[in-house]
Amino acid sequence: VILDGVQIDVEKLLPKLGVIAAYHSGDEVIADCPWQAHRKGGRRKFYVNLRTGLWICQACKDKKGSIYKLIMLLKDISFPEAAEYLKDNGSEVDFESFGDYITETLYNEVKPLRSRSDKKVVRESKKILLASRRFSKKGFWYSQRGYNEETIRKWNLRILPSSRWRNVIPVSVDGKEKYVIRRAQDPSTKPKYLYQRGFPKRELLFGLDSADSDMLILCEGPLDAISLWQHLSKLKMLDRYSPVAIFGSKISTEQIDLVERNADKVILFFDNDTDGESAVIDCMRKIKNVPTYVVDYGSFNVKDPGDLNTKQVRSMLTHITSVIEQKVMASINGS
């Protein structure tokens, strides 16, 4: 089933949630009620439509809804956590299209999503920015992320007082803060980054708007780019390197185009994990018209650029290898 751009294999998912099919009927699976308390009266009373993901328990009369609601109720988790659960369990989840729905208030249903006009998205960003506050010294950006005042000011990092999604990162295009990204304070909250519905993620590179050099450093998340920016600022190297983020580990064709139009040289600085490695391979293949280099984490036992210190960043940038070298090494090792 594809729900609003989200592909979910309901049949594969059900056993993981403890819903064991007794039998199939057309598009439907009939199972015992997965809630312990209702199990006695709920024998073969639980219906799930494999095509739509909609479900109903005829024993517990109040219980019915979407596949998200089922996960939320059974696992006692929030909507974003349910979306993340789906992702971890082999389903494609397009967080971008959720945007608005990933809020604290959402609990019931996922409504059909329609794309929104850019005007609407920009208007929403303005509202969010107005509702947000500048940082305080005790705040998240300063105490938890280790950002200094210069960094916080430069990126206009903000905090939303009353939301679970408290941290606000404006995204500038042509010198204007057009969009906002919200980010969970609690590192265990998934997804980490929350994009507005209609946010043109594929057409943007975070940080490109203020890039001062033609050497772009590509990283995954906006906070990685900001961390690298702070290190480069300390090293007084911002005239040489400009960190930009691709909003994840999959670069879009529009982003490739932006890179090729704006950079003389590219350094790939993705996360130190398997997603980061596949992002490197992907970029090695797709960036054709700009010399491309790769950093090596070597013995630094960190998971992303945000965990590195200034000295480590400098060392990695002085030991980059070109993609051509990488390809030669791979062919030697591979044969």
Q: Distance between terminal CA atoms of the chain?
A: 42
β-strand partners of 3: 6
**CA distances to 221, 239, 254, 302 from 232, in Å:** 17, 9, 26, 18
> d(Cα 21, Cα 155) in Å, to the nearest integer?
51
Which residue among 33, 93, 217, 308 contacts Zn ion (CB under 5 A)? 33
Residue 59 within binding range of Zn ion, rule CB under 5 A = yes
Identify which of 249, 224, 253 has the alpha carbon closest to the alpha carbon of residue 155. Answer: 224
Contacting range for Zn ion; rule: CB under 5 A; set: 15-23, 51-59, 166-174, 314-322: 51-59
Contacting range for Zn ion; rule: CB under 5 A; set: 38-46, 127-135, 202-210, 272-280: 38-46
For residue 52, the minimal CB distance to Zn ion (Å) is 19
Residue 38 within binding range of Zn ion, rule CB under 5 A = yes
For residue 22, the minimal CB distance to Zn ion (Å) is 14
Which residue among 57, 152, 157, 245 contacts Zn ion (CB under 5 A)? 57
* Residue 243 CA, distance from chain mean position: 18
For residue 31, the minimal CB distance to Zn ion (Å) is 10
In the stretch 163-202, what mask flags binding to Zn ion with x, by CB under 5 A?
----------------------------------------
Residue 234 within binding range of Zn ion, rule CB under 5 A = no
Q: Which is nearer to Zn ion, 42 or 222 (CB)?
A: 42
Residue 70 within binding range of Zn ion, rule CB under 5 A = no
Residues of span 261-290 touching Zn ion by CB under 5 A: none
Residue 30 within binding range of Zn ion, rule CB under 5 A = no
> d(Cα 108, Cα 317) in Å, to the nearest integer?
48
Q: Which is nearer to Zn ion, 71 or 219 (CB)?
A: 71
Q: Which is nearer to Zn ion, 19 or 268 (CB)?
A: 19
Tokens of residue 69, six digits: 């609601």
> d(Cα 230, Cα 241) in Å, to the nearest integer?
12
Long-range contact pairs involving 99-102 (C-beta distance under 8 Å, separation at least 24):
99/194, 99/195, 99/196, 99/197, 99/198, 99/199, 100/196, 100/197, 101/197, 102/165, 102/191, 102/194
For residue 39, the minimal CB distance to Zn ion (Å) is 8
Q: Around Cβ 181, how many Cβ atoms within 10 Å?
A: 25
Residue 48 within binding range of Zn ion, rule CB under 5 A = no
DSSP code at position 268 = E
Q: Which is nearer to Zn ion, 19 or 93 (CB)?
A: 19
Q: Which is nearer to Zn ion, 57 or 93 (CB)?
A: 57
* Residue 128 CA, distance from chain mean position: 19
Query: Which residues sit at the interface with Zn ion, rule CB under 5 A?
Result: 33, 38, 42, 57, 59-60
